[in-house]
Structure 1
Amino acid sequence: MQTANTRLGIGLMIATTFVFAVQDGLSRHLAGNYNVWMIVMIRYWFFAAFVIAVARGRTGSIRRAAATVQPILQAFRGLLLAGEICIMVLGFVALGLVESHAIFACYPLLVAALSGPVLGEGVGWRRWVAIGVGFVGVLVILQPGITVFAPAAVLPLAAACMFALYGLLTRYVARADTTATSFFWTGVSGAVAMTLVGVWFWEPMTAPDWGWMAALCVTGVTGHWLLIRCYEVAEASAVQPFAYLQLVFASVIGLTVFGEALQTHVAIGAAIVVAAGVFTLIRARRSQPVVG
């Protein structure tokens, strides 16, 4: 991979994280006024349309895009991601963008810890130390046993676990299916599941909020398009550390738009988690194919 492409990939990843942070802010606003199930359902309708268009363009037909030898696993991935999004949006409303993203930032550590049992990959002692340090950072954020700890903190933590498992299963199904096929199943199965649930919770929206809903759908499609382009021009291992900028952008939105407070223990804990996560990503890149 040429340096120019890597730089472009980094720029695209930064743009992706900014767009996704804006999407999170829109989700927080809408879910604060309407039920989460309907908001995510509408968001998934647009996402599924985008996914179908991309998959069809890359494979030539919808049937070819949907062809897989592991449909149950692919469908489960889609359900897992849809559930993770719902839980994370609930976390935005209950806990705020700053603390939710600070806790959710531990998901790369969960990926590293679960890569052994799920994918059969080895994890060296250095990465295990980093994983341990990262979870110390999570404890610093949560402050268990102190009044700051709220039951709502379980929401982004559960979302991080689900997203980590989703990421690992994505790598697992990639052994037999193409990226276009996995992308197709992610959008379509998630849209079907959210429609079956969300249609029962439909409620009228005001005209201005329909505008925000349209913006949410556009940012969702734009973010995924940028992410696809990012991985097309640069290696994932080279750009992945910059994904942590979503924590920064989302925190800025939480602080400036929603008037959230950045508490010292959250900032310190998030810094520990991010540092540990970046280290695990660097070690994973350097150790391929040797165990780090």
Structure 2
Amino acid sequence: MTPTNQRAGILLMIGAALIFSAQDAISRHLAEAYNVFMVVMIRYWFFAAFVVWVARRQAGGFRAAVRSGFPFLQVLRGTLLIAEVCVMVVAFMRLGLVETHAMFAAYPLIVAALSGPVLGEKVGWRRWAAIGVGFVGVMVILEPGVTVFSPDALIPVVAAFMFALYGLLTRYVSRRDSAAVSFFWTGVSGAVLITLVGVWYWEPMSPPDWGWMALLCISGATAHYLLINAYALAEASAIQPFAYFQLPAAAVLGMTIFGEMLRTNVLIGAGIVVSAGLFTLWRARVRAQGARPSKARANRAPSAPSTDR
């Protein structure tokens, strides 16, 4: 990976994060007037069409994209993601963009905590300490004992948990399936599943809102296209921290468009959660880089005795 590719990957990741923030604002606008399932269903129809278009351009075409070593887990991934999208849109309406994204920022910490039982990875004391610090940040946002606790505050936490499981399953299926295969199954299975629900909630949409819906679909495809190219140019561990640009961007949109307030406890708590999340991402990158020389040495000396204990 050259420095030029890394810079390009970072810029593409930032661009994707900013577009995803705009997409969240449009989703909130439409969901305030129409059923959440219908809004997400139409969005996923366009996404599925985009996924099929990408698959046809890949090596091996459509047949290669369909061929999965974990079809059940791929469908489960699609189910988790479509459910997470619906829950997040509900959270946007109940809590607003600012507080929803502040809570959702804890998902890397959940990934780190569950990587042991789900993937069998070892989580060291440094990352467990970061997970604990992140939990403190969540408590700062919730303010238990200071204000009356609202069950709505748990909605983005549920979304973060589902997205973390989706990410862990993505890493698990990558042992056999390529990124192109996982991307295809995510879009197509998600579209089929949400259609089975959303079609029962269809309602007429005004012409201006069809314009917003078209913008929602186009922005989603554009953001995913930027994301694909970002991961193609640079290592995931190098560019993933820049996905946090979505948090301040969503906060600005929430305050300027929807009149949301940035409370002090939310600002402080989000800062703690993001800092802890960035630390876990950094530690994961350090561990990955440390593992590469070991693999290289193992490849140079295949007859060396095992050092597993």
TM-score of the pair, normalised by structure 2: 0.92
The residue number in structure 2 matching 1:142 is: 142
1:226 aligned onto 2:231? no
The residue number in structure 1 matching 2:238 is: 238
In the TM superposition, 1:160-199 aligns within 5 A as 160-199=160-199
1:78 aligned onto 2:78? yes
Cα pair distance change 1:210/1:148, threshold 3 Å: farther
Residues 117-152 of structure 1 deviation map (CA, whole Å, 9 limit, x = unaligned) = 111111111111011001100110011233353211
In terms of Rg, which structure is larger? 2
The residue number in structure 1 matching 2:46 is: 46
Q: CA deviation at 1:55?
A: 1.5
Q: CA deviation at 1:64?
A: 2.1
Query: What is the identity, as a one-letter code, of the residue corresponding to 2:103?
Result: I
- Secondary structure in structure 1 of the residue aligned to 2:58: helix
Q: CA deviation at 1:256?
A: 0.4
- Secondary structure in structure 2 of the residue aligned to 1:288: helix
- Secondary structure in structure 1 of the residue aligned to 2:223: helix
The residue number in structure 1 matching 2:217 is: 217
CA distance in structure 1 between the aligned counterparts of 2:288 and 2:111, rounded to whole angstroms: 16
Q: CA deviation at 1:61?
A: 2.9
Q: CA deviation at 1:103?
A: 0.1
Query: What is the identity, as a one-letter code, of the residue corresponding to 2:210?
Result: W
Q: CA deviation at 1:153?
A: 1.1
- Secondary structure in structure 1 of the residue aligned to 2:175: coil
CA distance in structure 1 between the aligned counterparts of 2:49 and 2:107, rounded to whole angstroms: 28
Query: What is the identity, as a one-letter code, of the residue corresponding to 1:49?
Result: A
- The alignment covers a number of residue pairs equal to 291
CA distance in structure 2 between the aligned counterparts of 1:248 and 1:110, rounded to whole angstroms: 21
Greater shift after overlay, 157-166 or 50-59?
A: 50-59
Query: What is the identity, as a one-letter code, of the residue corresponding to 2:110?
Result: L
Query: What is the identity, as a one-letter code, of the residue corresponding to 1:221?
Result: A
Query: What is the identity, as a one-letter code, of the residue corresponding to 1:169?
Result: L
The residue number in structure 1 matching 2:203 is: 203
The residue number in structure 2 matching 1:112 is: 112
Structure 2: gaps of 5 or more residues = 292-309
Q: CA deviation at 1:288?
A: 1.9
CA distance in structure 1 between the aligned counterparts of 2:4 and 2:73, rounded to whole angstroms: 37
CA distance in structure 1 between the aligned counterparts of 2:130 and 2:25, rounded to whole angstroms: 30
Cα pair distance change 1:124/1:289, threshold 3 Å: farther
CA distance in structure 2 between the aligned counterparts of 1:283 and 1:14, rounded to whole angstroms: 21
Q: CA deviation at 1:290?
A: 5.0
CA contact (8 A) 1:140 1:265 kept: yes
CA contact (8 A) 1:105 1:274 kept: yes
CA contact (8 A) 1:106 1:277 kept: yes
Query: What is the identity, as a one-letter code, of the residue corresponding to 1:108?
Result: P
Greater shift after overlay, 260-269 or 54-63?
A: 54-63
Q: CA deviation at 1:59?
A: 3.4
In the TM superposition, 1:32-71 aligns within 5 A as 32-71=32-71
TM-score of the pair, normalised by structure 1: 0.98
Query: What is the identity, as a one-letter code, of the residue corresponding to 1:70?
Result: F
- Secondary structure in structure 1 of the residue aligned to 2:68: coil
1:155 aligned onto 2:162? no
Structure 1: gaps of 5 or more residues = none
The residue number in structure 2 matching 1:19 is: 19
CA distance in structure 2 between the aligned counterparts of 1:179 and 1:55, rounded to whole angstroms: 11
The residue number in structure 1 matching 2:263 is: 263
Residues 192-250 of structure 1 deviation map (CA, whole Å, 9 limit, x = unaligned) = 00100000000111111000000000010001000001001111111111111100100
CA distance in structure 2 between the aligned counterparts of 1:117 and 1:240, rounded to whole angstroms: 23
